[in-house]
Amino acid sequence: MNELNQLEMGQVINFYSDQQRIVGNLHLPYRNAPCVLTLHGLESSKDSGKWPQFAARLFREGFACLRFNFRGCGSGAERSDGAFEDTSLTGRIADYRSALQFLTDSGAVDMARLGVIGSSFGGMVAIAARDSRIKAMICLATPYTLPQLTTAVAGGEHEQLPSGRRLRNGFYSDLQRYPLLEAVKSTPPLLILHGALDELVPAEQALRLYAAAPEPKRLEIIEDADHVFSRPEHLTRVIDLSVDWLKNYLS
């Protein structure tokens, strides 16, 4: 956090959220650039699939990009502090706000031109936070509500995801504190991108979010695309649409 004068594209940075170290990468094409934060999904990380590609493209287009691992996420030396099992929407909103505070303290980017791209649970974070500093928002494969994905674990303190990872029982009760169909009514210009063949979040959820959001807004259902836009042509389409949206509202 004290080494911002040495930052280069993809420089590893650290900040703190609830006294836990959060690890990220700041891609900085030039000082005082408009900046886009990327918020990964529930079991993902800042280095998963699309995020390095997003960051590289944003950098080439003149946008700074801050991607970071939420608490308990990531691997190796760049894993953020905390336990994944303690994940909650409240905790991730706190991490997101700490990332915004890091950018404020850094003086490295133009805080009047901030955007956010959230994927799946990360999109829920972006909407639920209702942060007025954000001037453009993009939600990828984002639900407004999560079905019960977990099964009870013997002992009663945890529930288990299909992947085998565990969450504490309070995860779902915490979600109820954030009615997203209400929160989305106060979003900045919003682009919603969703795969027509999303196997985890039905496209109907995107339609509901879009209907509740204020203008300006745009919804694109990507034909034949899955939840993570795994086919290169689908991801290219998603990145192209995202960059165009950010240019419209952060330039």
Name all domains of the chain by residue range, CATH numbers in brackets.
4-250 (3.40.50.1820)
Cα separation, 188 vs 217, in Å, equals 9
Q: pTM here?
A: 0.94
Residue-level pLDDT at 49: 85
Amino acid making up residue 188: P
Per-residue model confidence as pLDDT tens digits over 223-243? 999 999 999 999 999 999 999
Of all residues in the chain, what percent carry a pLDDT higher than 70? 95
Cα separation, 184 vs 85, in Å, equals 27
pLDDT range class, residue 15, cuts 50, 70, 90: very high
Which range among 41-45, 67-71, 88-92, 143-147 shows the weakest confidence by mean pLDDT? Answer: 143-147
Per-residue model confidence as pLDDT tens digits over 93-109? 999 999 999 999 999 99
Residue-level pLDDT at 162: 87
Taking a C-beta distance cutoff of 8 angstroms, is the pair 36, 26 a contact? Answer: no
Closest CA to 178 of 71, 242, 83, 96: 96
Per-residue model confidence as pLDDT tens digits over 16-64? 999 999 999 999 999 999 999 999 999 999 999 899 999 999 999 999 9
Closest CA to 46 of 20, 21, 19, 65: 65
Cα separation, 184 vs 188, in Å, equals 9
Residue-level pLDDT at 154: 56
Q: In this structure, what are the phi and psi dihedrals at residue 19, rounded to the nearest 5 degrees?
A: 65, 20
pLDDT range class, residue 251, cuts 50, 70, 90: confident
Residues 6 or more apart whose Cβ sits within 8 Å of residue 27? 9, 10, 11, 55, 56, 58, 59, 64, 65, 66, 67
Quote the mean pLDDT of the chain: 93
For tokens 């991607």, name the residue: 67
